[in-house]
Amino acid sequence: MISVSQAEKIILGLVRSISETELIDLTLATGRILATSIVSRVDFPHWDNSAMDGYAVKFADVRSSTPKHPITLEVVEEIPAGSQPQREIQSGEAARIFTGAIVPVGADTIVMQEHTQRVQKNFVKIQITPTARSFIRQRGEYAKIGDPLLAAGTILNPAEIAILAATGSSEIKVYRRPRVAILSTGDELVTPHQTLKPGQIVDSNQYALAAFVQQAGGIPIWMGIVPDDRAKLTTAMSEAIESADFVLSTGGVSVGDYDYVEEILGSLGGDIQIRSVAIKPGKPLTVAKFKRDARTIVYFGLSGNPVSALVSCWRFVQPAMAKLAGLPKSTWHPTWIEAITAQDLSADGNRETYLWGKLELIDGQHHFSLAGGSHSSGNLINLAGTNALAVIPVGTNTCPTGSTVQVLGI
Ligand code: AMP
Ligand code: MG
């Protein structure tokens, strides 16, 4: 049995980041990972433009203007957003301007509409002392042509997508999504569409793991239920290995008479790297590496217990998925949050123990409250509605109420 941190290290060492890319339309890019770096093709903003509705003026003309002694200028042009100024502003002149419109040549300051008064048809009174260059967004102020905007490995969220649109990248190169085969092993399993006979249970793991894979940005490949039968398992596991980057199977990795997964991994040419980990829940964890041509496939044989399977995913598969998907190294580790526990947390001290519950931010401090009910690895009911796992390290038996614990968001 190896420690959690040893297991994490071994797993990350096995994973090769996907290098294959695909071209996709920007409208489909949310959550995808950029495969090239993006350099600005234009200056941002593209030209000096007004940040306000108001008047474009020469500062020198209005520097001595005050509310009591306003200076009057002649309005010689109107410049709405999207149009090009037609003339240069001369001394004594102003242009009516709107937010986003190009500042005309000759003007160097914008006076907000609220600080002006229009008189007759073509004159405006400047009723404050403006600040030189105020309310002008300068060309290239945010980014200049050739500036790096986005690095390869960036996950595309709304802000990044806005940048890609603004640089005219309507098609972008992203890494292909990880393919993750999921299979459930066990004679007792049936699909949710079937009626349970005595001793049978619904294969909930297939659904839970597919949802996990989707949330992690991968494509789940549903391999279905496979009975505890050597020949059938061999066929199904072999197909899974051929079709995916990762394989997640549940069940059949304990020490029971019908637990064949490890033996079959060996017979299929798998290099078994992990057999069990000092973690609760999720002690039986088989991890094997397969080489197929230039590809490396990582096989995760997870416990069939619904909570164990998910805890193994959150703790071990999640960081591995980040590396596989092409995300930067800084994301290949869980993010720990320090929280104050609202209950006494206890563990046997022999294995790193994960307890599920709710993490809340109250007055700037994170608080963890344990899910009510049984913390059995088979209890998938009280896992619902939780958003965090509190960790009790090896060698610790209790974390008393009010003490600080490390928590993993899920
Ligand atoms: P195993 O890891 O095969 O020893 O299974 C451990 C426990 O998890 C048993 O109680 C199984 O019935 C249950 N189990 C196994 N596979 C699944 C599954 N796909 N969905 C829900 N429960 C499962
Ligand atoms: Mg089983």
d(CA 122, CA 276): 84
Closest Cα to atom 3, ligand 1: which residue? 251
Tell me: the pLDDT tens digits for 107-159?
999 999 999 999 999 999 999 999 999 999 999 999 999 999 999 999 999 99
Q: Specify the pLDDT at position 256.
A: 87
Ligand 1 atom nearest to CA at 184 = 19
> How many alpha carbons lie under 13 Å from residue 297 in its C-beta half-sphere?
25
User: Are 325 and 221 in contact, with CB atoms under 8 Å apart?
Assistant: no
Mean pLDDT within 303-320? 98
Nearest to 305 by CA among 256, 233, 239, 269: 256
Domains and CATH numbers, the chain: 4-19+177-331 (3.40.980.10), 25-41+145-175 (3.90.105.10), 49-137 (2.170.190.11), 336-409 (2.40.340.10)
Q: Specify the pLDDT at position 346.
A: 96
Q: Specify the pLDDT at position 64.
A: 97
Question: Which residue out of 185, 194, 205 has the highest number of ligand 1 atoms within 8 Å of its CB and is therefore the one to mutate?
Answer: 205
d(CA 55, CA 78): 9
Nearest to 342 by CA among 410, 396, 407: 407
**CA of residue 57 to ligand 2 center, whole Å:** 79
Nearest to 396 by CA among 356, 358, 349, 357: 349
Ligand nearest to the CA of 203: 1
Cis before 45? omega within 30: yes
**CA of residue 283 to ligand 2 center, whole Å:** 15
Ligand 1 neighbours, Cβ below 6 Å, are 184, 186, 188-189, 201, 203-205, 250-252, 254, 256, 303-306, 378
Ligand nearest to the CA of 208: 1
Tell me: the pLDDT tens digits for 160-178?
999 999 999 999 999 999 9
Ligand 1 atom nearest to CA at 185 = 16
Ligand 1 atom nearest to CA at 305 = 8
Q: What type of residue sits at position 282? A: G
